[in-house]
């Protein structure tokens, strides 16, 4: 069973609205290599695990638990990027004082952000394709699953480092940087699991081959050792430390360690919007 | 952040393999009104909530937390129904001693259960369509969300009570019965939330209009009060009890109460299968 | 604007339940060459028509109007085939006296017929894929549209004549036979329209090359001239008769004529089902 | 059977081309809560209806009939918004004198509007996802269907009122305003139907909670009583007036009445376009 | 079996980057009427052919062989259009010196071009919908297949001539022009095949009705006779010349001839990109 | 450019019709890990390759070339399994002497095999979902691509070895056995490519861990060395031998060698079927 404490796994930096950034960030939420896919893939792999080598199941489930928090972090980041967006300033006065012409003028925005909900995240990718269950791979073979998870985490870094270049917005870059570092940790987890099965990775990792220090927001997380840590969200025992230990399989080196999760950050409370058309509900109920 | 204790929310009864039952049960996992949809819908509604009426956000998130456990329960039930299936007994000897001819002979089985993984659950519906993100509704308007959630929970009962009639397998019926009762509780939760906004439901609920006592497996859960309980999975405070309290909005009557979750049941460890082709992994790692 | 008289365009013959026949008939309702596709394709082609050659627009719209009735006819035929199905007789007693084990035992049934609704039609094809808007073609070029519509109508006959061979059920075959004859009429309509643009079809039509007299249910409709008639559902004037006139472009010969629609047949009222769980509603409201 | 008189249900105001507005308006045509979905949902609910409480079937079918006209109205509005669009004026001379560079320069246009057809409507949503049959809900339970239809109509208003804010184009706003008022009427229809089953809605409706008088184009339709009228498109008798009568269930009050449809407005004839490459067809055939 | 010589079927002209042009050109690669569809449609029609009239099978396969080269040509054209794109010049300095802000600023670009790969082609259409197998038609009836292929080739020209108007980029227009002429040749092939079955096309073709001489890039290919040539990629004998011979069925006239393919053009080698994060691989391996 | 010699890459064994086997074999053709996916994935990876390390591009393209032949082999195997199927023998006489009741009676057949074409292959998976372009991965990073291709080939073996157990039909098993051995060879190719980048695989491969000698049909291909051979389909030079050489990375050992392709096998000519409704075409044209 799953328990919750109302904390985000990382901070939501506040910056100006940036609907174009919100649009591309959807790839990280609902894309074929986004957080919804990793979350559901590890969920199915954990539940469908067979046999007694439960240290592997504990590892899969351990990463799954963190991915739920990643989905939540990206949802809130997108909401932050959309908060206050909508008015392009060209004087297209809305009937209710809340013009949404920015949705159609001069930026590559996601129309669903402005139509489907009250300027908030959707289960879609950057090109507005809905998330699709056929993207979840659970092969019924441990090695194939681990190799595939490696691809997932390396592609996660690749896509995030590309998206990072698309805006300097702080809410956007902070979330991306945190997730890049965590994808490195999870890449280490799956690479290490394959090491326990006999592979010597040589100098292959990290994939992609990039200098994480170029990303100033990443550096502090690396300094905190987050690239070599497996956060433990279990309220009971876990055997994942039997795998996630010893030398990192990456050129970035260091010692792998199971640790407590970050301390937690407040879940933002965003103001009601005119386009919700729900004013008064809070009044009625206080 | 999300924490885990390795317990299932209900028991997995053990019975004979029944791949045809496993096929139809996929609707409850990956169908347009299945547990993956409720889980993701309440997740997005909770994260995208705006304004200060946080008792509603807490309610949405509270139901979301339970839905994660429901997804897990259905995954394990499907795996139990598939465990040991595959050999129709017509003497179609497999090269590896593990014939899978039952996948193609004389039953309405899901071929993906036997091809994609090692006889385990997949993120698809009963007709093998992949789960689709466009099914998740988060309208950016609290009343629309609550009305839609009512539809979701009433349709959940409708579909489960129909599927229940398709097999007498114990693993199958026990899980369905538990979920039927919990869907009633969640229907009560959303109906009550709309009561706080002024609606008087009269004698409308429960929808559908059926006698839950006809389902012998349901009765014990009703006797335990599960149809009027909201399980609390929060490690910190929640305001959902401000809504989920007082008289049930259903003809079944009773007092609504926020309670502790069930005590938890063991997660099954299923044996390795020849078609995993992974023998030896557990040996290598013990 | 669209007006309605509660009549079906053809009779629904009553025969035994046949859920396997209902499953394959879905291709004719929701398949890529089914009635929903023809209906929506001609709807878009009619509305998106440009220019003054309005006799072509009137023809496209005229066929569209009939296709709405075809969709309705197939919906009711599927419902008839499902009515009373569900119990395989193997003694799998349902909790509510309405076992649905036929959905999982020994026949190629569509699980959605028994799960999603109360044994009724769905907007899916025979393989349970949802109908998809990308199948609708409206090219913005009249000749391409007409050629494509020819393909649609010839494929309509092809698929219906194949499906016809799959069951001898009377409800099934009567509807298929009527639609085969009407597809021939619509094939003639589009072939004739291309004749007005200069094509001489030689002996190409009808496509496919088959003997319609082999289908006993078809014969009476041919005798009534339905293969050479364009039914007129307009309450005002139409110019489609400028095209649909003169010698048939088909080897089956005859004179093309715009006529009144058939006299109309009663819309069946099917009984309530236990799995609707709605008993009492009619009582409350009489 | 379905009959037609060549009239639109509302006027198409003529204004400048606005391809960005055409793009977002697609959500109202082919989106998951658009007119194609309401049309097909009520069509299936009507045909799949079981039992003798035919006043409900007549109501479902009555709304369905109007939705066909709504689909047609939105198709023509999109065509009007696209008519004459294409040339950004930056001097990107086309080979055929019809540059389409506006499709790629500086606006959020839908590329399919300029590629697939001759600048006309497509069965897609605002993000260019094809319409999907899995969006149609027909639960086989009358109450669930009515609740779901309420969600559909309230979300219809929500999305239309958001899209309204995206452009001041007159063709765009007039159509949206008319449809907002009609969605209110249909919301009243389904809310009233649930009232007949015992619900007292209190002050819940209209959902969303907004002031329709803020939309100047809406006011005249409200003054004409369109928010409390159910248009009757039947050529024979209908029992829907047994439900749609008496006090409105909405705070906007008034008496519900079944009335004749609007008088009807001309279907526009748009000029041929160079990119149709069909010039001469009308000449050949006059 | 399939053999390869590293030559493109036409030249890739080099011009400035143009990501908006790359976006719309995706329709020609992965759209419902793009080269992937024609390639796969003729592949299935060829392999599924039944009976002894093998001259038709050879024709279908002959066109299929050329379509593989067309897919490759469009992939490389898109890559050329993306090469060097990404930096809008607004000073949004990327962490790795490779800003991708052009993906989100001021142009209608495809976000997947910048996120999923290192600025290269994807199997999607212009609206970023993934290519879908349900678009491939293989009717199991030769005449229907030939008619449908005619629609495919005429729509190919229609869409390409519209897309041509969207940018003056040379890489873009040269590829489109070559493909327009080849679609004319393939239209002639299928029209001629239907002529052998008795049709007289009159003055119907080419569809669309346009003046190919308006496209300066097309003219040289017409002068080389490419509109009346069927390229032969067989290493053994083919009977397609029994069909593709004699007078063209088009108003453009001329003699149809089976010929050798074009001489071939170099496959571009594009430079590595920072966002590949793969520098050094070539060093390691030389 | 691509050239063709009319030879299949392996023999099509002739055995009785087996539509249930044809249904599951579709996973290998149009499934998310089937031959259409490998073909298109390596096609995009080859065309989108950047940089000068062309030995890797040549390897990707080399495997792509073989995959085209694999698609063709599976198409013909499915056609062989369907040839003559359709009549269950229960006396359900068809109007045209070609009953198709086997499509609906007592077997898990694919209805599209009997409806869409004349009993032939379709671009779908075993559960009849259409092939989807979002399954093609081309990451724009060589290592990620190679790792992903490893997953593809290992999953290819996994799924084929599972499907093999579902029928003893000779046409079915011979094709599966050949492809299993070739997937091993391609697994070796991608594993070896990663070896050139520094990985030491230890005893990881082959994945899955199975005894290929259990499959009698595989043994002859192993004896011919097909598991260690890379077939060369280039008419010009290729550098793939710089990678595909030396010791196999697999426990099965042996020397990797680039070789000529197999000698080639005849493409079957299947008889015309009544449900094609095309009789006479061959007569008209001889």
Q: A89-126 burial by CB neighbour count: b if 16+ within 10 A, else e? A: eeebebbbebbbbbbbbbbbbbbbbbbbbbbbbbbbbb
CB atoms within 10 A of CB C52: 14
Chains that touch A (3 or more CB pairs under 8 A): B, D, E, F
Q: Are A115 and D31 a contacting pair at CB < 8 A? A: yes
* % residues pLDDT > 70 (chain E): 91
Neighbours of D258 (CB within 10 A): 18
| D145 → chain B, closest CA residue | B151
ipTM: 0.96
Which of E92, E124, E277 minimises the CB distance to A168?
Answer: E92
Q: Are E2 and E170 in contact (CB under 8 A)?
A: no
Q: Mind spelling out the 3-state secondary structure of D53-106?
A: CHHHHHHHHHHHHHHHHHHHHHHHHHHHHHCCCCCCCCCCCCCCCCCCHHHCEC
Q: How far apart are CA A113 and CA A210, in angstroms?
A: 33
Q: Tens digits of per-residue pLDDT, A195-215?
A: 999 999 999 999 998 888 889
Q: Scanning every residue of chain D, which has its alpha carbon at the shortest distance from the alpha carbon of E173?
A: D95
A97 CA: distance to closest CA in chain B (Å)? 18
**Are B165 and C98 inside 8 Å of each other by CB?**
yes
Q: Is D276 on the interface with E (CB under 8 A)?
A: yes
Look at B48 and A120 and tell me if their CB atoms are within 8 Å.
yes
Q: Does C136 contact E at CB distance below 8 Å?
A: no
**Looking at residue C32, what DSSP letter applies?**
T
- D265 φ, ψ (degrees, to nearest 5): -130, 155
CA distance B121 to B70: 13
Predicted local confidence at residue C283, as pLDDT:
47
Mean pLDDT, chain A, rounded, equals 92
Ordered structural domains, chain B, with CATH? 19-88+97-261 (1.20.1260.10)
- Give the relative orientation of helices E170-195 and E19-30 as an angle to the nearest 10 degrees: 20
Rounded to a whole number, what is the distance in Å from the CA of C85 to chain E's nearest CA? 31
DSSP F206-229: SSS---GGGSHHHHHHHHTTGGGE
Residues 62-101 of E with CB under 8 A from A: 86, 92-96, 98-101
**What is the pTM assigned to this prediction?**
0.97
Which of E225, E257, E262, E261 lies closest to E243 in space, CA to CA?
Answer: E257
CB E56 within 8 A of CB E193: yes
How does DSSP classify residue D2? Answer: E
Q: Dump pLDDT digits (tens) for A92-118.
A: 556 666 678 777 776 689 999 999 999
Cα–Cα distance, F100 to F115 (Å, whole number): 9
Does residue F285 sit in helix, strand or coil? helix
Rounded Cα–Cα distance for residues E149 and E163 (Å): 21
End-to-end Cα separation, chain F, in angstroms:
32
Residues of D whose CB is below 8 A from A130 = 129
Asked if pLDDT for residue F109 goes beyond 80, the answer is yes
Tell me if residue A246 falls in helix, strand or coil: strand
Whether the per-residue pLDDT at A154 is higher than 50: the answer is yes
Residue ranges of chain C whose pLDDT lies below 50: 279-280, 282-286
Q: Which residues are within 8 A (CB) of C272 and not within 5 positions of it... i.e. 6 or more apart?
A: C278, C279, C282, D50, D51
DSSP string, C169-233: -HHHHHHHHHHHHHHHHHHHHHHHHHHTTT-B-TT--SSS---GGGSHHHHHHHHTTGGGEEE--
Angle at D13 between CA D173 and CA D259, to 5 degrees: 80
CA neighbor of B260 nearest in space, from B280, B234, B278: B234
The span from the CA of C130 to the CA of F261, in Å, is 42
Q: Identify all chain E residues contacting F148, using CB atoms and an 8 Å cutoff.
A: none
For E86, which residue in chain A has the nearest alpha carbon? A166
What sign results for the dihedral spanned by CA atoms D175, D178, D181, D184?
Answer: negative
Instruction: Assign E97 a pLDDT band (cuts: 50, 70, 90).
Output: low
Residue B279 has pLDDT above 50, yes or no: no
- Helices A19-30 and A54-82 pack at an angle, to 10 degrees, of 160
Confidence of residue B284 (pLDDT cuts 50, 70, 90): very low
Q: Residue F211 — pLDDT band, cuts 50, 70, 90?
A: confident
Contact E152, E38 (CB under 8 A): yes
- Distance separating alpha carbons of residues D57 and D64, to the nearest angstrom: 10
Q: For A214-237, how does the pLDDT look when each residue is reduced to its tens digit (9 = 90+)?
A: 899 999 999 999 999 999 999 999
A158-198 tens-digit pLDDT = 999 999 999 999 999 999 999 999 999 999 999 999 999 99
Cα D90 to Cα D106, D118, E15, E90, distances in angstroms = 11, 21, 19, 21
CA distance A272 to chain E (A): 27
H/E stretch holding D4: strand D2-4
Alpha-carbon dihedral sign for residues C60, C61, C62, C66: positive
Distances (CA, A) of D40 to B56, D34, D66, D184, E37: 33, 10, 12, 19, 29
Structure tokens at F45: 């990876």
Angle at A136 between CA A135 and CA A140, to 5 degrees: 135
Q: How far apart are CA E25 and CA E167, in angstroms?
A: 10
Contacts of C150 in chain E (CB under 8 A): 147
Which SS3 state, helix, strand or coil, does residue E66 take?
Answer: helix
Q: Give φ, ψ of A213 to 5 degrees.
A: -70, -15
* Partner residue opposite C202 with nearest CB, options E199, E203, E208: E199
Which residues from chain F sit within 8 angstroms of residue A32, using beta carbons? 134
Q: Which residue of D has its CA nearest to E26?
A: D111
pLDDT band per the 50, 70, 90 thresholds, residue B211: confident
CA distances from C10 to A180, C174, D236, D238 (A): 63, 9, 18, 21
Residue F41 has pLDDT above 70, yes or no: yes
Question: How far is Cα of residue D100 from the mean position of the Cα atoms in its chain?
Answer: 28
Q: Pick the more confident residue, E197 or A102.
A: E197
Given a contact cutoff of 8 angstroms between Cβ atoms, the answer to whether B228 and B185 are in contact is yes
Measured between alpha carbons, how far is A134 from A32 in angstroms, rounded to an integer?
9
Alpha carbon of A77: minimum distance to chain D alpha carbons (Å): 21
Contacts of E208 in chain C (CB under 8 A): 141, 143-144
Say what the pLDDT of residue C281 is: 61
Residue of A157, A165, A183, A203 best to disrupt the E interface, most CBs of E under 10 A: A165
CA–CA gap between residue E250 and residue E202 (Å, rounded): 9
Which D positions 221-240 lie with beta carbon below 8 A of chain E? none
Query: Does F285 sit within 8 Å of E53, measured CB to CB?
Result: yes
CB nearest A115 (choices: D27, D167, D209): D27
Contact D115 E162 (CB under 8 A): yes
**E31/chain D closest Cα distance in angstroms:** 10
What pLDDT is recorded for position E94? 62
Out of B158, B194, B197, the one facing D141 most closely (by C-beta) is B158
Distances (CA, A) of F31 to A7, A236, F173: 41, 40, 18
CA–CA gap between residue C47 and residue C61 (Å, rounded): 8
Mutate to test the interface with E, among C138, C139, C161 (most CBs of E within 10 A): C139
pLDDT at A65: 98
Do A2 and B69 lie within an 8 Å CB cutoff? yes
Contacts of B116 in chain F (CB under 8 A): 159
pLDDT at C180: 97
Q: What string of pLDDT tens digits covers the 286 residues of chain D? A: 999 999 999 999 999 999 999 999 999 999 999 999 999 999 999 999 999 999 999 999 999 999 999 999 999 999 999 998 887 665 555 666 667 877 676 668 999 999 999 999 999 999 999 999 999 999 999 999 999 999 999 999 999 999 999 999 999 999 999 999 999 999 999 999 999 999 999 999 999 988 888 899 999 999 999 999 999 999 999 999 999 999 999 999 999 999 999 999 999 999 988 777 664 464 444 3
Chain A residues in contact with B123 by the CB 8 A cut-off are 40, 44, 133-134, 136
To the nearest whole angstrom, how far is the Cα of F123 from the nearest Cα of chain A?
16
Distance from CA of A41 to the nearest CA of E (A): 19
Q: Hey, are the CB atoms on B165 and C112 less than 8 Å from each other?
A: no
Question: Quick check: C118 and D50 CB within 8 A?
Answer: yes
Compute how many other C-beta atoms are within 10 angstroms of the C-beta atom of residue B103.
29
pLDDT of residue C107: 66
Task: Nearest chain C residue to F124 by CA: give it.
Answer: C127
Quick one: closest CA in B to D137, which residue? B32
Position A97 scores a pLDDT of 63
Q: Which residues of C touch F111 (CB under 8 A)?
A: 23-24, 27, 108, 126-127
Contact assignment for C115 to B210 by CB distance below 8 Å: no
Which of chain E's residues have a Cβ under 8 Å away from the Cβ of C203?
198
Residue with tokens 């249909």: D186
Contact F208 A154 (CB under 8 A): no
- The residue among E147, F1, E19, A121 whose CA lies nearest residue C147 is E147
Nearest to F133 among E7, E69, E131 (CB): E131
Backbone dihedral angles phi then psi of residue B270, each to the nearest 5 degrees: -90, 150
Q: Which strands make up the sheet holding A229-231, listed edge to edge?
A: A229-231, A255-259, A246-247
| Minimum-distance CB partner of F279 among C128, C163, C209 | C209
DSSP string covering chain B: -EEE-S-BSS--------HHHHHHHHHHHHSTTSHHHHHHHHHHHHHT--SS-HHHHHHHHHHHHHHHHHHHHHHHHHHHHHTT----SS----TTS---GGGTBSB---HHHHHTSSS---SB-TT-PBPBGGG----S-HHHHHHHHHHHHHHHHHHHHHHHTT---HHHHHHHHHHHHHHHHHHHHHHHHHHTTT-B-TT--SSS---GGGSHHHHHHHHTTGGGEEE--BSS---GGGTS-EE-SSTT--EEEEEPPP--BPPP-BPP-GGG--TTHHHHH-
d(CA C150, CA C194): 10
Q: Say if E53 is an interface residue toward chain C (CB within 8 Å).
A: no
Interface touch A144/F158, C-beta < 8 Å = yes
Mean pLDDT of chain F: 92
B and A interact (at least 3 Cβ pairs within 8 A): yes
F157: tokens are 């073996």
Residues of B in contact with F128 (CB under 8 A): 128
Contacts (Cβ under 8 Å, ≥6 apart) of C1: D4, D5, D7, D8, D9, D69, D233, D261, D264
Mean pLDDT of B174-195: 98
Give CA angle at C218 (C213, C220), nearest 5°.
100
Residue C4: both structure tokens together: 């309605």
Q: Is the pLDDT of residue A88 over 80?
A: no
Evaluate the CA torsion angle D237, D240, D242, D244 in order and state its sign: negative
Q: Is the pLDDT of residue E89 over 90?
A: no
Mark whether E and C touch (3+ CB pairs within 8 Å).
yes
> Between chains, do E197 and C208 touch, taking CB under 8 Å as contact?
no
Q: How far apart are CA C79 and CA C14, in angstroms?
A: 11
Closest Cβ–Cβ partner in B95, B115, B130 for F129: B130
F255 φ, ψ to 5°? -105, 130
CA distance A137 to chain D (A): 23
């Amino acid at each position: 069973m799953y328990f919750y404490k109302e904390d985000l796994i990382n901070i939501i930096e506040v910056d100006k609205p940036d609907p174009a950034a919100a649009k591309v960030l959807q790839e990280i939420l609902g894309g074929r290599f986004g957080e919804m896919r990793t979350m559901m893939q590890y969920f199915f792999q954990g539940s469908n695990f067979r046999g007694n080598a439960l240290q592997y199941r504990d590892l899969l489930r351990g990463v799954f638990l963190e991915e739920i928090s990643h989905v939540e972090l990206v949802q809130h980041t997108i909401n932050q990027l959309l908060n206050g967006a909508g008015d392009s300033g060209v004087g297209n006065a809305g009937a209710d004082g809340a013009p949404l012409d920015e949705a159609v003028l001069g930026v590559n925005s996601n129309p669903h952000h402005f139509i489907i909900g009250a300027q908030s995240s959707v289960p879609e990718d950057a090109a507005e394709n809905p998330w699709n269950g056929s993207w979840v791979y659970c092969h019924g073979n441990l090695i194939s699953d681990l190799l595939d998870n490696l691809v997932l985490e390396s592609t996660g870094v690749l896509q995030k480092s590309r998206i990072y270049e698309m805006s300097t917005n702080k809410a956007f870059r902070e979330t991306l940087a945190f997730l890049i570092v965590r994808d490195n940790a999870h890449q280490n987890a799956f690479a290490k699991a394959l090491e326990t099965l006999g592979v010597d990775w040589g100098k292959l990792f990290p994939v992609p081959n990039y200098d994480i220090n170029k990303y100033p927001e990443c550096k502090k997380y690396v300094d905190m050792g987050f690239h070599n840590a497996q956060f433990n969200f279990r309220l009971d025992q876990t055997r994942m430390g039997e795998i996630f230990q010893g030398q990192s399989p990456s050129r970035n080196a260091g010692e792998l360690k199971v640790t407590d999760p970050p301390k937690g950050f407040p879940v933002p409370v965003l103001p009601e919007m005119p386009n919700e058309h729900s004013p008064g509900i809070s009044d009625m109920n206080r």
